[in-house]
Amino acid sequence: MYELEINTTKRSQMIDITKRLSTVLHEDKTDNGIMMVFIPHTTAGITINENGDPDVKRDILHQLKEISPQSEEFKHFEGNSDAHVKASLVGASTQVIIKDSELCLGTWQSVYLCEFDGPRRRKIWVHIK
């Protein structure tokens, strides 16, 4: 298992981690298999989405904010319940097929760390099988 650390800089953001995952894959020297990417945090997520137009990331974050805005109605004492809801919607993991020592992603796809309660230092665990 590999561990990546990423420092986020905003309360909500999507950070492309695809190049870091490719570096891990090349260190591992796996030809074919599956890469599992997992984030062990309850206010952040992992997803695969478009990398061609930065407005897509903005639109996703905007819509998640609409679905779960910060609110005084939440009872959680830390005041970040909106981040917990967003992380649950996005999910804590994804898988990517490995073929011929490369991540099999579509032309416009990247893997993203989704931060909902930053800035923070986040860990990402990567397992290759």
**pLDDT the model gives residue 116:** 98
Block means of pLDDT (10 residues each) for the chain, 129 residues, are 98 98 96 98 98 96 92 72 95 98 97 98 98
Counted domains in the chain: 1
Helix (H, G, I), strand (E, B) or coil at 64: helix
Residue 39 half-sphere exposure, CB side, CA atoms within 13 Å?
25
**pLDDT the model gives residue 69:** 84
**pLDDT the model gives residue 9:** 98
Residue 114, domain CATH: 2.60.120.460
Residue-range definition of the domain harbouring residue 116? 2-128
**pLDDT the model gives residue 13:** 98
Q: What is the DSSP letter of 101?
A: T
Helix (H, G, I), strand (E, B) or coil at 28: helix
**pLDDT the model gives residue 70:** 74
Return the closest-CA partner of residue 23 out of 33, 35, 41. Answer: 35
**pLDDT the model gives residue 77:** 67
CA angle 23, 40, 3 (to 5 degrees): 25
